[in-house]
Amino acid sequence: MAKISSVCVIDDDPYVCLSIGELLDDMGYQALASDSGKAGLQEVLRRRPDAVLLGLTLPDMNGYEVCRSIHSIADALAIPVMIISAGGDQEYIHHAFDCGAVDFITKPINLDVLRFRLQCMLRTHRAHRDLRQHKRQLEKVKTIAKIADWSWDIREQRLTWSAEMYRLLGIVPQAVESQWEVLDHIHPDDRLVVSNALDGLFQRDQGFDIEYRLNDEVVPRYVHEQAQVLKDKQGVPISIIGTLQDISELKISEEQLHYLAYHDSLTGLANRESFHKQLKLAVKNAKALEQQFSVLFLDLDNFKQVNDSLGHDVGDELLINVANRLTNNLRKCDVISRNFREKLQYDYSHNVARVGGDEFLILLMGEYKPARLRRIAKRLVASIHQPYTIGGEIVRISVSLGLVTYPEDGGDSVTLYKHADEAMYRSKALGKNQYCFYDKSLNSTAQKAGCMKEALLLAIQRQQLFVCYQPILDLATGAIIAVEALLRWRHPTEGVLLP
Predicted local distance difference test score (pLDDT) of residue 396:
93
* Same domain, yes or no: 161 and 277: no
Whole-angstrom distance, CA of residue 242 vs CA of residue 237: 14
| Model pTM score | 0.55
* Same domain, yes or no: 245 and 358: no
* Same domain, yes or no: 437 and 489: no
* Same domain, yes or no: 22 and 170: no
Strands 51-55 and 393-395: unpaired
Cβ contact 150:177 at 8 Å:
no
* CATH code at position 220: 3.30.450.20
Predicted local distance difference test score (pLDDT) of residue 1:
46
Predicted local distance difference test score (pLDDT) of residue 341:
43
Which of these three, 139, 174, 208, is where a domain ends? 139
With the C-alpha atoms ordered 408, 411, 417, 418, is the resulting torsion angle positive or negative? negative
Cβ contact 456:331 at 8 Å:
no
Number of folded domains in the chain? 4
Element (H, E) at 297: strand 293-301
Residues 6+ apart with CB under 8 A from 377: 296, 401, 403, 435
Which of these three, 251, 277, 296, is where a domain ends? 251
For residue 417, CA distances in Å to 275, 280, 340, 360 come to: 11, 11, 21, 12
The SS3 of residue 462 is coil
Cβ contact 66:56 at 8 Å:
no
Whole-angstrom distance, CA of residue 138 vs CA of residue 215: 28
Predicted local distance difference test score (pLDDT) of residue 138:
67
Strands 208-214 and 359-365: unpaired
Predicted local distance difference test score (pLDDT) of residue 410:
92
Predicted local distance difference test score (pLDDT) of residue 342:
43
Closest to 99 (Cα-Cα) out of 125, 68, 77, 72 = 68
* Same domain, yes or no: 116 and 20: yes
Domain presence at residue 459: no
Domain presence at residue 172: yes
* Same domain, yes or no: 199 and 323: no
* Same domain, yes or no: 300 and 395: yes
Which of these three, 251, 284, 318, is where a domain ends? 251
Domain presence at residue 101: yes
Domain presence at residue 373: yes
Rg, C-alpha atoms of the chain: 44
Range of the domain at 27: 6-139
* Same domain, yes or no: 280 and 216: no
Tens digit of pLDDT at every position of the chain (499 positions): 456 788 999 998 888 889 998 999 998 889 999 989 899 888 888 888 888 998 888 888 888 888 888 877 745 457 888 988 876 667 777 888 888 888 888 888 888 898 998 888 888 878 777 777 777 766 666 666 678 888 888 888 888 888 888 888 888 777 677 777 888 888 888 999 999 998 998 888 889 999 998 887 677 789 999 999 998 888 888 999 999 888 888 888 888 888 888 899 899 898 999 899 989 999 998 899 888 899 999 999 999 999 889 899 999 999 999 999 998 887 654 444 344 444 444 444 448 999 988 999 999 987 778 899 999 999 999 999 999 999 888 999 999 999 999 999 999 999 999 999 999 988 888 889 999 999 876 555 555 565 577 678 878 887 888 999 889 888 888 888 898 999 898 877 778 888 7
Predicted local distance difference test score (pLDDT) of residue 353:
92
**Exposure string (b/e) for 453-463, b if CB count within 10 Å is 16 or more?**
eeeeeebeeee
Cβ contact 340:346 at 8 Å:
yes
Predicted local distance difference test score (pLDDT) of residue 180:
78
* Same domain, yes or no: 269 and 398: yes
Domain presence at residue 486: yes
Closest to 327 (Cα-Cα) out of 370, 263, 384 = 384
Whole-angstrom distance, CA of residue 416 vs CA of residue 422: 10
For residue 258, CA distances in Å to 5, 274, 281 come to: 58, 10, 18
Domain presence at residue 460: no
Predicted local distance difference test score (pLDDT) of residue 450:
55
| 156, HSE (Cβ side, Cα atoms, 13 Å) | 6
Predicted local distance difference test score (pLDDT) of residue 446:
55
Whole-angstrom distance, CA of residue 51 vs CA of residue 10: 11
Whole-angstrom distance, CA of residue 261 vs CA of residue 273: 8
Cβ contact 397:385 at 8 Å:
yes
* CATH code at position 34: 3.40.50.2300
* CATH code at position 416: 3.30.70.270
Domain presence at residue 189: yes
Helices (H), 14-110: 14-27, 37-47, 63-72, 90-98
* Same domain, yes or no: 238 and 348: no
* Same domain, yes or no: 413 and 292: yes
* Same domain, yes or no: 51 and 106: yes
Whole-angstrom distance, CA of residue 74 vs CA of residue 89: 31
Predicted local distance difference test score (pLDDT) of residue 57:
82
Residues 6+ apart with CB under 8 A from 9: 16, 17, 20, 21, 24, 31, 32, 33, 34, 52, 53
Domain presence at residue 321: yes
Strand order in the sheet with 51-55: 30-34, 6-10, 51-55, 81-85, 103-106
Cβ contact 306:315 at 8 Å:
yes
